[in-house]
């Protein structure tokens, strides 16, 4: 097992533990931070982590000349499909558009956690243990989202009331809560059993599962705070993804296969790698702010009309939706 990747994904567990502990001990300070320094928390956590991780995919796809030419139809088709779907969905209503995008984002987050887990269990044989690991990771992610949908939270994925269309569904929270803790209990007992009887304990795999349980449960269910949700879920999602891209697509490859991208293997290259991600992320969010949101940045006496937003919003969403959709293809050969 690759120790560098283990260290990179171990951040998932560390960030979850510190986030949970910090959230419990410093709730008032976190609320004060959110109230008085919302611009900086938005800039660092949303722009420089969440949005930046979207652009790290470039180093596995569009920036790799041979890879791009090999799958050109995929890499050109997905952005085109993203734009077309966005334009169609937005015509059906702004809330319909954002609700649909929120569901795609949730699916992406859930599948990424499953993908991380499978990546580190790819050499394990099929059977009870492997099945229950998959069930556990899905339980760790899907239950908090179902809880969120039926229980008003102080945070949104994209916009307010994005899950309001589910209000007519009967309350299922008590039933799924029992199922959630039963699955968790069986997974814990299963892990202890295999450790004692077979001396088997996959550290990075179990790190991902435990970290996911902690970050999703406490970030969504236990705490009802926007900043804590962002800290626990965005950081534990974005930073391990960026680390995985750098380690697997740059650090572990030789200079001959990297060609011009070999510059990123140097100390300066790491800085350049991060700088490029931050630059792309900041530019995208600047466009969102000026043209759509106008919450942190705006140009005086300049405002885009609603009629233009039906084209601009789907266009600005293309990088994010492309990342969501491409992720289902570019890691497929590593999931076994």
DSSP per-residue codes, 178-231: HHHHHHHHHHHHHHHHHHHHH----HHHHHHHHHHHHHHIIIIII---HHHHII
CA distance 9 to 112: 12
The pLDDT value given to residue 79: 96
Global confidence as pTM: 0.84
Place of tokens 């394990």: 124
Radius of gyration of the CA atoms of the chain, in A:
21
For residues 206 and 216, the answer to whether their CB atoms sit within 8 Å is no
With a cut of 50, list the residues of the chain below it in pLDDT.
1-4, 7, 21-26, 334-336
Residue 5 neighbours by CB distance under 10 Å: 20
pLDDT of residue 1: 45
| pLDDT of res. 334 | 47
Please give the torsion angle defined by the CA atoms of residues 334, 2, 58 and 256, in that order, rounded to the nearest 10 degrees.
-100
Residue 325: what pLDDT? Answer: 92
Closest residue by Cα to residue 47 from 290, 230, 225 = 230
Cα torsion through 136, 134, 5, 108, rounded to 10: -90
Q: Which residue has the tokens 């799958």?
A: 71
CB-based contacts of 120, cutoff 8 Å, min separation 6: 1, 5, 6, 9, 202, 204, 205, 208
3-state DSSP assignment of residue 108? helix
């Amino acid at each position: 097992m690759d120790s560098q990747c283990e260290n990179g994904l171990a951040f998932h567990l560390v960030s979850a533990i510190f986030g949970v502990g910090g959230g419990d001990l410093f709730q008032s300070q976190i609320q004060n931070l959110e109230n008085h320094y919302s611009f900086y928390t938005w800039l660092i956590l949303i722009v420089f982590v969440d949005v930046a991780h979207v652009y790290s995919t470039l180093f596995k796809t569009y920036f790799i000349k041979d890879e791009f030419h090999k799958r050109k139809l995929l890499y050109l088709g997905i952005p085109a499909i993203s734009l077309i779907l966005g334009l169609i969905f937005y015509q059906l209503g702004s809330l319909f558009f954002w609700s649909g995008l929120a569901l795609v984002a949730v699916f992406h987050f859930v599948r990424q956690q499953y993908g991380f887990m499978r990546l580190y269990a790819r050499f394990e044989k099929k059977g009870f243990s492997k099945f229950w690991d998959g069930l556990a990771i899905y339980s760790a992610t899907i239950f908090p989202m179902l809880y969120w949908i039926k229980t008003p939270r102080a945070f949104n994925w994209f916009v307010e009331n994005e899950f309001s269309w589910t209000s007519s569904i009967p309350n299922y929270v008590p039933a799924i809560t029992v199922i959630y803790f039963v699955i968790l209990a069986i997974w814990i007992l299963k892990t202890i059993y295999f450790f004692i009887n077979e001396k088997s304990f996959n550290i990075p795999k179990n790190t991902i599962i435990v970290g996911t349980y902690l970050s999703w449960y406490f970030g969504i269910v236990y705490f009802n705070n926007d900043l804590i949700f962002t800290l626990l879920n965005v950081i534990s999602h974005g930073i391990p993804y960026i680390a995985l891209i750098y380690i697997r697509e740059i650090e572990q490859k030789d200079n001959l296969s990297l060609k011009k991208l070999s510059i990123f293997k140097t100390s300066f290259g790491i800085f350049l790698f991060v700088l490029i991600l931050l630059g792309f992320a900041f530019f995208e969010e600047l466009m969102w702010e000026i043209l759509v949101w106008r919450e942190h940045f705006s140009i005086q006496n300049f405002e885009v009309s609603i009629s233009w937003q039906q084209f601009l919003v789907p266009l600005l969403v293309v990088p994010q939706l492309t990342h969501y959709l491409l992720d289902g293809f570019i890691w497929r050969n590593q999931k076994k």
